[in-house]
Structure 1
Amino acid sequence: MFTPDRAFSGFAVADIDEAKTFYGDILGIPVSLNEMGILELTLGSGATVIVYPKPDHEPAGFTILNFDVDDVEAAVDDLNARGVTTKIYDDADFPTDEKGVARGMGPEIAWFRDPSGNVLSVLKGS
């Protein structure tokens, strides 16, 4: 019988070791490598996201993971201090300030990429 109780999400990366370093060491997310060579990220909410290697990986054309934060500017400063670039959009569709923060188009948000080119964000949710 179908039940959504144990649902989880996942996405692909080009290099699993590089992803483990980025998500675990740089972003500070608890990461484990399972017996199939797939990373399991344990988010603060308790949810699990799997990250699997894909040799012919192409980054998604959309944001794959969002981090709800209390203060986007402080989160951006922290990410920048960790070596993460948050200024990835600079066009009419996504006007951002010098740090990469978009304001006035919905929630305050800044995007960044993982080593495989997947787009992530920090945003002020509710």
Structure 2
Amino acid sequence: MFGESTAYSCFSVDDLDAARRFYGDVLGLRVEDTGPEGMRMLNLTLPGGARVFVYPKENHTPATFTILNFEVDDVDRAVDELTGRGVTFERYEGFEADEKGIVRDGHGPAIAWFTDPAGNVIAVLSNG
């Protein structure tokens, strides 16, 4: 039924300007302002062309789960670049992370989590 339709994901933030700067300047994604007159929203274009819709919400509550996963060839390099751009990596109970915040437990890809300015969780992980 939906195999041939277009789909996209969405999430909320509490500050569109901060989200625009973070997703555009820090993560390097294409960010476009959109929405009907008087209601500003953002469209993010992910690698590969998928779109994500970002909308403002006054009573925004950050997602407690990972909303975006970015697969990279070199997790260490990605973490170093993001750290250099002011990103702080999260450490979660039950996951042993190294000094950079990367979890390498042998049960899956190397992964590190961080948050956007609205507190939504994002991951960078090894694609190999």
TM-score (norm: length of structure 1): 0.92
| Structure 1 SS opposite 2:5 | helix
What residue in structure 1 maps to residue 121 of structure 2? 119
Q: Within 5 Å, which residues of 2 pair with 1:101-112?
A: 101-104=102-105, 105-112=107-114
Runs of 4+ in 1 over 6 A off after TM superposition: none
Stretches of structure 2 that go unaligned for 5 or more consecutive residues are: none
What secondary structure is seen at the aligned counterpart in 2 of 1:7?
coil
Maintained 8 Å contact 2:72/2:124: yes
Quick one: percent identity of the two aligned structures?
54
Cα deviation for residue 42 of structure 1 reads 0.6
Partner of 2:53: 50
Which residue in 2 is equivalent to 1:21?
21
- Provide the secondary structure at the position in 2 that maps to 1:6: coil
The one-letter code of the counterpart of 2:80 is D
CA distance in 2, matches of 1:12, 1:4: 27
Query: Do 2:71 and 2:126's aligned partners in 1 also have CA atoms closer than 8 Å?
Result: yes
Instruction: Tell me what 1:98 maps to.
Output: 99
- Conserved in 1, the CA contact under 8 Å of 2:35 and 2:42? no
